[in-house]
Amino acid sequence: MTPTLVFDIETIPDAQGLRTLLDLPTDASDEDVVNLALHQRRQEKGTEFLPLHLHKICAISCALRQGDQFRIWTLGEEESSEAEVIQRFFDGIEKYTPQIISWNGSGFDLPVLHYRGLMHGVNASRYWDLGQDDKEFKWNNYISRYHMRHLDLMDVMAMYSPRANAPLDDLAKLCGFPGKLGMDGSKVWDAFKDGKLKDIRDYCETDVANTHLVYLRFQLMRGYLTQAAYEKEVALVKETIESYSGVHWDAYLKAWA
């Protein structure tokens, strides 16, 4: 069975990049730089959502299903650099060649990883193989929108139509899973400023749990899992989370009850 790797990233504004592009003084605080950039963005575009290359990754969480094992974790430590966690992500693809699964990964997570990886000079040769090294990748690679080596669940379920996109939180809850707990992407920058990086990492882990569970329901719907196999996979997720310590997992299990 091909390993599956569900992934999700959390980001904050790239204060140093904004300082460079806006030609701001080096002694300007990160918060002042970001506030100015967000104000300009709001004036120009009517939204504070920054271009993807100006999103700095502060967490990457993964859910890996391989063999008879399943685990959820966040790459690196709280003090790890952005470059280190991005390299670890692509090292995992190099090691396992998994099917990678996301919710809106094509529209957000992967482009951000591309830009930030480019800036940091990371190596992602397996990920970028389009058949030059492995002929199988010519017909099924991570880059093509319509290949399944990367499955963007949101994109597929919406028939590749942005107007039909649905939020992960809604779908998870409607399928009977916990959904988001206490945080969403819009709150990450404020949490980061308050020194709550652990809370961000914990939130990212629950997001990959939700995505993996929705993916299992998708596999049931498309006939890749029988009802019995689906229930076994869901039970494995629950048992794994029950073995973890952490306030976020306690809250997740309580919401799942």
Paired residues of 56 in beta bridges:
12
Spatial distance between the Cα atoms of 190 and 198, rounded to a whole number of angstroms = 13
What are the pLDDT digits (tens) for 204-232?
A: 999 999 999 999 999 999 999 999 999 99
Q: What burial class does residue 251 get, using C-beta atoms within 10 Å of its C-beta: 0-12 exposed, 13-18 middle, 19+ buried?
A: middle
What pLDDT is stored for residue 34 in this prediction? Answer: 97
Residue closest to 112 by CA, chosen among 21, 42, 51: 51
What pLDDT is stored for residue 52 in this prediction? Answer: 98
**Chain position carrying tokens 């396992």:** 96
Spatial distance between the Cα atoms of 10 and 171, rounded to a whole number of angstroms = 20
pLDDT at 120 over 80: yes
State mean pLDDT over 65-72.
96
Strand order in the sheet with 4-13: 69-74, 55-66, 4-13, 99-102, 150-152
Domains by residue range for the chain, with CATH: 4-252 (3.30.420.10)
- Enter the pTM of the model: 0.96
- pLDDT-derived band at 98 (thresholds 50, 70, 90) equals very high
- pLDDT-derived band at 196 (thresholds 50, 70, 90) equals very high
pLDDT at 181 over 90: no
What pLDDT is stored for residue 183 in this prediction? Answer: 80
Q: What burial class does residue 168 get, using C-beta atoms within 10 Å of its C-beta: 0-12 exposed, 13-18 middle, 19+ buried?
A: buried
Residue pair 7/102 in contact by the 8 Å Cβ criterion:
yes
Question: In one letter, which amino acid is 63?
Answer: A
